[in-house]
Structure 1
Amino acid sequence: MPPESTVASPGSSLARIASPAAESGTAPAVSDAELRSLASGLDRLQTTGERSPGRLRAIAAGVVPPLVFVAVLLVAWQLYVAIAQPRPDIAPGPLDVLSAFGTAWDSGRLQLAVGTSLERGVVGFLIAIAVGTPLGLLLAEVRPLRRAVGPIVSGLQVLPSVAWVPAAIIWFGLSDATVYFVILMGAIPSIVNGLISGVDQVPPQLRRVGTVLGAGAFAQATRIVLPAALPGYLAGLKQGWAFSWRSLMAAEIIAMGGTIGFGLGAMLQQNRELADLAGVLATIILILAIGILVELVVFGPVERRMLRRRGLLVGGTA
């Protein structure tokens, strides 16, 4: 009789690995390559039969609707100004705001403010990720520590980060450390709670599979639990970025002078002191545009890729 043919598949790999453990009661030693093969095989099973759309079509589907909506708003705004003819210092039109953009660009204030705020926002957010990720994983895995520290983290998330600005000024003075401290206090609680929420939704069967495959506590946390908790973790990252960006603007508006550089918050406050409503609206629109751009360019593609790998995204819709 010819030898029985074998087909390498995630199910057969799992059965082959788990069978000795079920018979002998011991966990076999399994290489990292087999763990990765099993995970990638399951992902392929979930996404079989789906055809990903073209890149340009996917970008157009995400960008065109917001652009159309913004164009409609601008047309309605311009019609209101043309028909009602309000005072320009109370209700400036789109052309006045565009002129304020041009003035800020020609003076170099716009480039300086955007560069300063983006640098602070990105650096502060990366530090928040580096601190919040291990802290969130620790609180999610160690129940006594979570019961002790979890309510405090949730309370910090509810606390408006602008409340930290006066204390940060007293501690660090008018320096960039004040701004970064406010960013961290706004972003870290959201990242921690998002990761904890994602870990709570991990099916217990995955932990059992990790135990059968011989994964230790650290390997389970980093190779099984953290990837499985990715949807909640990504939601926490998105919320953490939103809080860090808001915290940054609050800190820049209040903490001005000293060694603190000129950011978008300082530009907004400067236009307010000059009673330049067109400049104020131009700065607000710019702050909003940067937030939307980060969502579309950074978090949007990452989220779509994650959903597609898990078989939760059909075609190009999200």
Structure 2
Amino acid sequence: MPETTERTGRHVRGLDALELQPGRAGDENGPARVAARVWSATWPKLAAITLLLVAWQALAWSGWRSEYVFPGPDRVLPTLLAEVTGPEFWTAVQVTVRRALTGFALALAVGVLIGLAVTRSRALRSAIGSLVTGLQTMPSIVWFPFAMLLYGITESAIMFVIVLGAAPSIATGLTSGIDHVSPSLLRAGRTMGLRGLQHYTLLIVPAALPMFVSGLKQGWAFAWRSLMAGELLVIINQQNSIGWALSQARQLNDAERLLSYVIVVLLIGVLVDVFFNWADRALRRRWGLTQD
């Protein structure tokens, strides 16, 4: 018996030593594994950017349009670098991002309230469900004449259009997420005594989060497009912003500066998309909807 116990102890200690050795198959969070994940997610984007720049430069050199009208990246990127190093650029980005976040926060509050109200009342869903979908499909630029009539040439007009453009998508995403909550999960919640507000805050809304994030992503896309259209149409006392810089570059026929700010708009959209994709993967992993 002592010999058996000693052999078992040696065997367990050997297994512990194997588990503690770095670089084993079970070490999924090691530096090499993390670096491999980062590279696998980064290289397709880098390849796409490289191909885009090469195609853009080739088109500019082909003579399809004059370089004065359609400059290549060899002229636009230095202009972008010069803009980035100036204080006016960061002021413009700050104003635009502040407007985007403020408008999206307002749209989020309105969209969540509408989504929860629609899911709680069948009559309300029948009454305004199609209206919410119709608002979601309307181009945001259609609302700007009415918004300027209501609020004048002010920032409130831009916020009004952002909310009308983004809130329906957010409400639809929340409604779809709640509709797809598993019935067995709902029965389990009732068995555990969840009722009223707790039923939503502790069970339904967390379970609907993966699909709700998709609605948030779509809502941000509508909010960002509405904001860019608003800054181009509603010039507020010459206040510096990305839209104002685009408008000034167009008036001065400065194609290089105009395209440099187009790149800035694209980069901000890509960064936000990366954030939403990360949030979506994290939620799906937490709820067991992916094998990553």
- TM-score, normalised relative to structure 1: 0.77
2:190 aligns with 211
- Within-5 A mapping of 1:188-199: 188-199=167-178
Work out the number of aligned pairs and report it. Answer: 265
1:267 to 245, 254, 266: 245
Shift of the alpha carbon at 1:311?
A: 2.1
SS at match of 1:229: helix
Shift of the alpha carbon at 1:99?
A: 3.0
Structure 2: gaps of 5 or more residues: 1-25
2:106 aligns with 127
1:184 aligns with 163
SS at match of 1:114: helix
Q: Which amino acid aligns with 1:195?
A: L
Shift of the alpha carbon at 1:268?
A: 1.2
Shift of the alpha carbon at 1:228?
A: 1.4
2:93 aligns with 114
Shift of the alpha carbon at 1:83?
A: 5.2
Distance in structure 1 (CA, Å) of the matches to 2:85 and 2:192: 63
2:120 to 110, 132, 141: 141
User: After alignment, is 304-313 or 53-62 more displaced?
Assistant: 53-62
Distance in structure 2 (CA, Å) of the matches to 1:209 and 1:311: 18
1:168 to 141, 147, 150: 147
1:304 aligns with 281
Q: Kindly tell me: are residues 83 and 174 of structure 1, through their superposed partners in 2, closer, same or farther at Cα, counting changes over 3 Å?
A: closer
Distance in structure 1 (CA, Å) of the matches to 2:28 and 2:171: 35
Shift of the alpha carbon at 1:114?
A: 1.0
- Within-5 A mapping of 1:228-307: 228-258=207-237, 261-296=239-274, 298-307=275-284
Q: Which amino acid aligns with 1:270?
A: Q
Q: Kindly tell me: are residues 114 and 303 of structure 1, through their superposed partners in 2, closer, same or farther at Cα, counting changes over 3 Å?
A: same
Shift of the alpha carbon at 1:106?
A: 5.1
Distance in structure 2 (CA, Å) of the matches to 1:83 and 1:160: 35
**RMSD of equivalent CA atoms:** 2.2
1:201 aligns with 180
Shift of the alpha carbon at 1:51?
A: 5.1
Shift of the alpha carbon at 1:86?
A: 5.0
Distance in structure 2 (CA, Å) of the matches to 1:51 and 1:133: 37
- The C-alpha deviation readout for 1:98-119, integer Å capped at 9, x for no partner, is 2331443455332122111111
- The C-alpha deviation readout for 1:112-160, integer Å capped at 9, x for no partner, is 2211111111121122212211321121121111111111111111111
Q: Which amino acid aligns with 1:203?
A: S
SS at match of 2:49: helix
- The C-alpha deviation readout for 1:263-309, integer Å capped at 9, x for no partner, is 2112111111111222221111110110001111x212211111111
Which protein, 1 or 2, shows the higher relative CO under an 8 Å CA cutoff with sep ≥ 6?
1
1:100 aligns with 79
- The C-alpha deviation readout for 1:170-225, integer Å capped at 9, x for no partner, is 11121211111111111100000111111111122221111111111221122111
Q: Kindly tell me: are residues 215 and 65 of structure 1, through their superposed partners in 2, closer, same or farther at Cα, counting changes over 3 Å?
A: same
Q: Kindly tell me: are residues 141 and 263 of structure 1, through their superposed partners in 2, closer, same or farther at Cα, counting changes over 3 Å?
A: same
Q: Which amino acid aligns with 1:146?
A: R
1:74 aligns with 53
Q: Which amino acid aligns with 2:290?
A: L
Q: Kindly tell me: are residues 125 and 50 of structure 1, through their superposed partners in 2, closer, same or farther at Cα, counting changes over 3 Å?
A: farther
The answer as to whether partners of 2:214 and 2:280 remain within 8 angstroms in 1 is no
Distance in structure 2 (CA, Å) of the matches to 1:52 and 1:162: 47
The answer as to whether partners of 1:124 and 1:184 remain within 8 angstroms in 2 is yes
- 1:65 matched to 2:44: yes
Shift of the alpha carbon at 1:63?
A: 2.5
The answer as to whether partners of 1:50 and 1:314 remain within 8 angstroms in 2 is no
The answer as to whether partners of 2:246 and 2:258 remain within 8 angstroms in 1 is yes
- TM-score, normalised relative to structure 2: 0.84
Distance in structure 2 (CA, Å) of the matches to 1:210 and 1:63: 41
Percent of pairs with identical residues: 37
The answer as to whether partners of 1:104 and 1:110 remain within 8 angstroms in 2 is yes
The answer as to whether partners of 2:155 and 2:236 remain within 8 angstroms in 1 is no
Shift of the alpha carbon at 1:84?
A: 4.2
- 1:89 matched to 2:89: no
1:41 aligns with none
